[in-house]
Amino acid sequence: MKNKIRLLFYILLILFPFKSLALIEVDITRGNLSPLPLAVSSLSSSENDKEALKKELDIKDLGLEISKIVENNLKKSGLFNPLNKDAFLQKPDIAHLKPRFEDWALIKAQALITGKVNFQDEKLRVEFRLWDVLAGKEMLALAFTTVPKNWRRVGHIISDKVYERLTGEKGYFDTRIIYVSEKGPKTQRIKKLAIMDQDGFNTKYLTLGNELVLTPRFNPTNQMVTYLSYFKNLPRVYLLDIETGMQEVVGDFPGMTFAPRFSPDGKKIIMSFAMDGNSDIYTMDLENRIVERITNHPSIDTSPSYSPDGKYIAFNSDRSGYQQIYVMKSDGTKVKRISFGNGLYGTPVWSPRGDLIAFTKLHKGKFYIGVMRTNGKGERLLTENYYQEAPSWSPNGRVLIFYRETKTNSKGEGFSAKLWSIDLTGYNERLVETETDASDPSWSSLLSN
Amino acid sequence: MFLSFLLSACATQTSKKIDSQIQGDVYTGTDTVEYLADGVPDRVFFATNESVLTTASRETLRKQAAWLRKNPEVTVVLEGHADERGTREYNLALGERRANAAKDYLMTYGISSSRVSVISYGKERPVDSGSNPLAWSKNRRSVTVKAN
Q: Which residues on adjacent β-strands are paired with residue B118?
A: B78
**Cα–Cα dist A221/A265, whole Å:** 7
Q: What is the pLDDT of residue A173?
A: 98
Same domain for A27 and A147: yes
Q: How confident is the model at residue B146 (pLDDT cuts 50, 70, 90)?
A: very high
Q: Mean pLDDT lowest for which of A54-63, A112-121, B5-14, B23-32?
A: B5-14
**Residues of chain A contacting residue B135, judged by C-beta atoms under 8 Å apart:** 412
Same domain for A184 and A55: no
Q: Which of A179, A180, A182, A187 to mutate to test the interface with B (most CBs of B within 10 A)?
A: A187
Same domain for A147 and A258: no
**Residues of chain A contacting residue B93, judged by C-beta atoms under 8 Å apart:** 258, 272, 274, 279, 300, 302
**Cα–Cα dist A382/A284, whole Å:** 34
Mean pLDDT, all residues of chain A: 93
- Please indicate whether, in this complex, the C-beta atoms of B125 and A187 are within 8 angstroms of each other: yes
**Cα–Cα dist B127/B135, whole Å:** 8
**Cα–Cα dist A341/A81, whole Å:** 38
Q: A300 touching B, CB under 8 A?
A: yes
* Secondary structure class of A149 (helix, strand, coil): helix
Positive or negative torsion for Cα A171, A173, A175, A177 = positive
Residue ending a domain, choose from A167, A189, A216: A167
Nearest residue in chain B measured CA to CA from A365:
B85
Residue A105 falls within a domain, yes or no?
Answer: yes
Report the pLDDT averaged over residues A308-321.
97
**Cα–Cα dist A155/A161, whole Å:** 10
- Please indicate whether, in this complex, the C-beta atoms of B90 and A303 are within 8 angstroms of each other: yes
pLDDT in tens, A78-99: 999 999 999 999 999 999 999 9
Looking at the complex, report in whole angstroms how far the Cα of residue B140 sits from the nearest Cα belonging to chain A.
14
Contact A303, A323 (CB under 8 A): no
Same domain for A199 and A64: no
Nearest residue in chain A measured CA to CA from B135:
A412
Name the amino acid, one letter, at B50: E
pLDDT in tens, A122-159: 999 999 999 999 999 999 999 989 999 999 999 999 99
**Residues of chain B contacting residue A257, judged by C-beta atoms under 8 Å apart:** none
- Please indicate whether, in this complex, the C-beta atoms of B90 and A272 are within 8 angstroms of each other: no
Q: A412 touching B, CB under 8 A?
A: yes
User: What's the structural domain count of chain A?
Assistant: 2
ipTM for the whole complex: 0.92
Same domain for A184 and A307: yes
A-B contacts (CB, under 8 Å): 107
Contact A130, A109 (CB under 8 A): no
Residue A448 falls within a domain, yes or no?
Answer: no
Q: Mean pLDDT lowest for which of A7-11, A65-69, A308-312, A391-395?
A: A7-11
pLDDT in tens, B71-111: 999 999 999 999 999 999 999 999 999 999 999 999 999 99
Which of A284, A296, A370 minimizes the C-alpha distance to A328?
Answer: A296
Q: Which residues on adjacent β-strands are paired with residue A137?
A: A132
Q: A274 touching B, CB under 8 A?
A: yes
Same domain for A210 and A193: yes
Strands A224-229 and A336-337: unpaired
**Residues of chain A contacting residue B32, judged by C-beta atoms under 8 Å apart:** none
- Please indicate whether, in this complex, the C-beta atoms of A387 and B89 are within 8 angstroms of each other: no
Angle (nearest 5°) at CA A405 between A439 and A188: 75
**Cα–Cα dist A276/A113, whole Å:** 60
Contact B44, B36 (CB under 8 A): no
Q: A260 touching B, CB under 8 A?
A: no
Domain range for A48:
2-167
- Please indicate whether, in this complex, the C-beta atoms of A185 and B126 are within 8 angstroms of each other: no
- What CATH fold (topology level) applies to the domain B2-146? 60s Ribosomal Protein L30; Chain: A; (3.30.1330)
Residue ending a domain, choose from A167, A187, A220: A167
Nearest residue in chain B measured CA to CA from A304:
B89
A217 contacts: CB under 8 Å, gap ≥ 6: A178, A225, A226, A227, A260, A261, A262, A392, A442
Report the pLDDT averaged over residues B66-70.
98
Residue ending a domain, choose from A167, A187, A210: A167
Looking at the complex, report in whole angstroms how far the Cα of residue B63 sits from the nearest Cα belonging to chain A.
22
Q: How confident is the model at residue B16 (pLDDT cuts 50, 70, 90)?
A: low
**Cα–Cα dist A427/A80, whole Å:** 13
**Cα–Cα dist A297/A332, whole Å:** 11
Q: What's A152's domain CATH number?
A: 3.40.50.10070
Burial B79-115 (b: 16+ CB within 10 A, else e): bbbbbbbbbbbbbbbbbbbbbbbbbebbeeeebeeeb
Which of A270, A339, A282, A356 minimizes the C-alpha distance to A310?
Answer: A270
Q: What is the pLDDT of residue A31?
A: 61
Same domain for A55 and A203: no
Residue A223 falls within a domain, yes or no?
Answer: yes
Q: Mean pLDDT lowest for which of A165-169, A345-349, B13-17, B33-37?
A: B13-17
Q: What is the pLDDT of residue A8?
A: 40
Same domain for A184 and A248: yes
Q: Which of B25, B85, B88 to mutate to test the interface with A (most CBs of A within 10 A)?
A: B88
Q: How confident is the model at residue B24 (pLDDT cuts 50, 70, 90)?
A: confident
**Residues of chain A contacting residue B129, judged by C-beta atoms under 8 Å apart:** 185-187, 408, 412-413, 415
Q: How far is CA A443 from CA A6, A152, A240, A347, A396, in A?
A: 19, 18, 16, 15, 11
pLDDT in tens, A251-306: 999 999 999 999 999 999 999 999 999 999 999 999 999 999 999 999 999 999 99
Same domain for A252 and A158: no
Name the amino acid, one letter, at B65: A
Looking at the complex, report in whole angstroms how far the Cα of residue B125 sits from the nearest Cα belonging to chain A.
5
Same domain for A292 and A149: no
Q: A346 touching B, CB under 8 A?
A: yes
Q: A190 touching B, CB under 8 A?
A: no
Contact A272, A284 (CB under 8 A): no
Q: What number of other Cβ atoms are within 10 A of residue A10's Cβ?
A: 12
pLDDT in tens, A196-253: 999 999 999 999 999 999 999 999 998 899 999 999 999 999 999 998 999 999 999 9
**Cα–Cα dist A34/A1, whole Å:** 40
Domain boundaries, chain B: 2-146
Q: How confident is the model at residue A410 (pLDDT cuts 50, 70, 90)?
A: confident
Residue A413, pLDDT > 60, answer: yes
Q: A214 touching B, CB under 8 A?
A: yes
Same domain for A234 and A162: no
Residue A29, pLDDT > 90, answer: no
**Cα–Cα dist A288/A192, whole Å:** 30
Same domain for A272 and A131: no
Q: What is the pLDDT of residue B2?
A: 43
Q: What number of other Cβ atoms are within 10 A of residue A407's Cβ?
A: 13
Q: What is the pLDDT of residue A64?
A: 97
- E strands, A277-429, where? 278-285, 291-293, 301-306, 312-317, 324-329, 336-337, 344-350, 356-363, 366-373, 380-385, 388-393, 399-405, 417-423
Angle (nearest 5°) at CA A67 between A62 and A72: 125
Q: What is the pLDDT of residue A2?
A: 46
Residue A449 falls within a domain, yes or no?
Answer: no
Contact A350, A357 (CB under 8 A): yes
Helices then strands, counting H and E runs in chain B, come out as 4, 8
Q: A440 touching B, CB under 8 A?
A: yes
